[in-house]
Amino acid sequence: MTDLEKTQIQIGYIPLLDCVAILWAKQRGFFDEVGLDVSLVKEASWASLRDRLAFGFLDAAHCLSAMLPAAALGEDQLGIPLQTALVLSQNRAFISLSQKLCFELNITTQDNMQESAQKIVTAILEQKPIQLAHVFKQSIHHYCLREWLALVNFDVAQNIKLVTLPPPYMVEALSNHVIDGFCVGEPWNTQGELIGVSQIVASSQDIMPKVADKVLAVTSDWALQHPHTHRALTQAIQKAQQELKYLDDYTEVWQMLMDFNIVQFQCSNTVHVQKFHSIQNIIRHFVDDSPQPKIEDFKWLIQQMVKWDKLIISETDLEKMSQNCILSFQA
């Protein structure tokens, strides 16, 4: 494309399964096809990624959806508006607890999410110290943990102090007994199970509506200054999403995820077969056929902030802020 405002692009990401379309677009040359020279930048935490995106060190980023309304509300202490034109994943988090805690509280694989929550809440009310972690204050993972506990006791859900940890540190923190459980995206739940330290007890899909989890985010100013570059970037990643959805052989995808140190365990159609097909199925269905962001997603996220952070927002502001998170390309 000759009308690109900028061709050298830095995209930030956190090592999670749902950055796969960005990595695949780079690997398959889809960015090159639209005239973009893309560098992928692994970030240490969601906070560092957000700050580097907001202050222009990154052009775009694999971003938590709730960071966008948080920026609009000034809840991120930065207040630099972020927007998205592309959803990367929808509601694919899991809650995992340490196998030690599960044994102590008799939480079994037969328990449904309300039964496991009941056993945790009972233990908390009996003053047992239980430390749960999420990935970031403004995230579906945070809200998922609170909504899970609220199935049993709203006051416990409201008042429990949660720890924030970057996704790649969750399993290590649990192994070292720093935390007792976490809510995070894949592959970290699977890794915890395969090395024998954690057990998945609930899925965010059973607790919350199907909302955007990760998005491709840019600042509003960047989008305004680089409309053609932004469109090209989005088109390349959408092409990767479509290819991943219908790909027959995932061998190269698995190798890429291992090369990027995202998948750190052996998993194939002969080793840990069920996990292999489960993760492959997640990748295929990260997004619908139309991965455009929806205003209802951001309204729900803001409503969660109102519910759990006790914010006060009018219905008019709720609608406006939700709409401002979405960037639609002009025809």
The domain covering 93-207 belongs, at the CATH homologous superfamily level, to Periplasmic binding protein-like II (3.40.190.10)
Q: C-alpha 259: how far from its chain's center?
A: 21
For 201, the token pair is 């007890």
> pLDDT tens, 152-200?
999 999 999 999 999 999 999 999 999 999 999 999 999 999 999 999 9
Helices and strands: H and E segment counts in the chain: 17, 10
Identify whether the C-beta of residue 139 lies closer than 8 Å to the C-beta of residue 131: no
Identify whether the C-beta of residue 46 lies closer than 8 Å to the C-beta of residue 281: no
State residue 79's pLDDT score: 72
> pLDDT tens, 105-144?
999 999 999 999 999 999 999 999 999 999 999 999 999 9
Query: 2: pLDDT confidence band, cut at 50, 70 and 90?
Result: low
* Residue 267 confidence (pLDDT) above 90: no
Query: 76: pLDDT confidence band, cut at 50, 70 and 90?
Result: low
> pLDDT tens, 13-69?
999 999 999 999 999 999 999 999 999 999 999 999 999 999 999 999 999 999 999
State residue 77's pLDDT score: 67
Identify whether the C-beta of residue 39 lies closer than 8 Å to the C-beta of residue 10: yes
Same fold, 8-90+212-262+288-324 and 93-207: yes
Query: 330: pLDDT confidence band, cut at 50, 70 and 90?
Result: low
Within 10 Å of residue 291's Cβ, how many Cβ atoms? 22
> What is the CB-side half-sphere exposure of residue 294 using CA atoms within 13 A?
14
Residue with tokens 């592959």, as numbered in its chain: 187
* Residue 329 confidence (pLDDT) above 90: no
| Cis status, amide bond into 69, omega within 30 of 0 | no
* DSSP assignment letter at 326: B
d(CA 72, CA 2) in angstroms, rounded, equals 33
d(CA 235, CA 208) in angstroms, rounded, equals 29
State residue 331's pLDDT score: 44
> pLDDT tens, 280-322?
999 999 998 778 999 999 999 999 999 998 888 888 989 999 9
Report pTM: 0.94
Greatest CA separation for the chain: 66
**DSSP symbols for 128-173:** ----EEES-SSSHHHHHHHHHHHTT-HHHHHH---EE--GGGHHHH
Which among 99, 197, 189, 100 is positioned nearest to 144, based on CA atoms?
A: 189
**Dihedral, 46, 50, 53, 55 alpha carbons, nearest 10:** -140
The answer to whether the Cα torsion of 38, 41, 42, 46 is positive or negative is negative
d(CA 20, CA 42) in angstroms, rounded, equals 13
What b/e readout covers 27-55, taking b as 16+ CB neighbours within 10 angstroms? Answer: bbebbeebebebebeebebbeebbbbbbe
Query: 82: pLDDT confidence band, cut at 50, 70 and 90?
Result: very high
* Residue 237 confidence (pLDDT) above 70: yes
∠ CA 12-18-21, nearest 5°, is 75
Residue type present at position 175:
S
Does residue 118 sit in helix, strand or coil?
helix
- Write down the domain spans for the chain: 8-90+212-262+288-324, 93-207
* CATH number of the structural domain 8-90+212-262+288-324: 3.40.190.10
Identify whether the C-beta of residue 167 lies closer than 8 Å to the C-beta of residue 89: no
